[in-house]
Amino acid sequence: MREHPGIRAVLPQRYPMLLVDRILELDPRRSIRTVKAVTATEPCYAGLPEDAEPWRYHYPPALLIESFGQSAALLWLDGHAPAADDGLTLMFVGATEFVFEGGVLPGDVLIHTVRLDNVIAGTAFASGETWAGTRRVARVTTLVATRRPVPHLTGPADASAVAAGPGPAQRSREGSR
Amino acid sequence: MTTQETQLEALRELVAEVLEIDPEELTDTGDFIDDYEADSLRAIEILARIDKQYKVEIPQAELPLLRNLKAVHEALLQYSGQG
């Protein structure tokens, strides 16, 4: 088991977008089980009016995907932070068949089970499920993540790069399909 | 259809799904990047799907050559021992 400092050491995300609380099990290059506890103090609930309908307390699917993706990244990076100076940015490329099977509410403790299916040319392919207790709330056939150089995120905009148009990484898919 | 033709049609579906186009739109020699607006990640995704579906590992060194369906099919045949 690995606690939060071990996660912060590997993932670049920070509050409020660091969405993995704990690593339960890590079988290097094969699988990982992580925990994300959803609470009513999450920023996504901050703006809800007093008379908000119950469904508005459902945890946003986009954040669940992000949490799953961060778990996949922890598995892919094998719990070790990449060299800070390698100039590569970890990014979510997309997912195929990300299926939501049940709602998630404040108080639910999500368990992500992620399998690393393949790593080709610096791009990782993962699959798995998310559970809330004995309920499976989501599953995904393929989630794709990559590490690519993204100059505009690490320094001032380069006029020549902008003129040349978006590179492959910037044009990559976002969200699920 | 011969086995190879059947395999080509199955591969056409696989590749078309990655490129997010209809299989009918995907010709044998249409260039993924120039004709179907794919980026380099799509070719990587095609390799990953072939690995998952056919249990055939095409080396990533082949990536620059996999620019159309015909090339992908030939690589699949070669690395599955049918070529």
Domain residue limits, chain A: 4-171
| Chain A residues within an 8 Å CB radius of B44 | 120-121, 123
How far B20 CA sits from the closest chain A CA (Å)?
10
Q: What is the CATH number of domain A4-171?
A: 3.10.129.10
Length of chain A: 177
CB contact (8 A) between residue A121 and residue B44: yes
Interface ipTM: 0.75
Contact criterion met (CB below 8 Å) for A128 and A85: no
- pTM value? 0.80
Q: What percent of chain A has pLDDT over 70?
A: 84
Cβ B48–A118 below 8 Å, yes or no? yes
Domains and CATH numbers, chain B: 3-79 (1.10.1200.10)
| Residue ranges of chain A whose CB lies within 8 Å of a chain B CB | 93, 117-118, 120-121, 123, 125, 142, 144, 146, 168-169, 171-172, 177
Q: Is residue B16 within 8 angstroms of chain A, CB to CB?
A: no
Per-residue DSSP letter, B67: -
Residues of chain A under the 70 pLDDT cut: 151-177
Per-residue pLDDT tens over the stretch A60-87: 999 999 999 999 999 998 877 777 778 8
**CB A116, CB A30: distance < 8 Å:** yes
Q: Name the residue of chain A whose CA is nearest to B38's CA.
A: A168
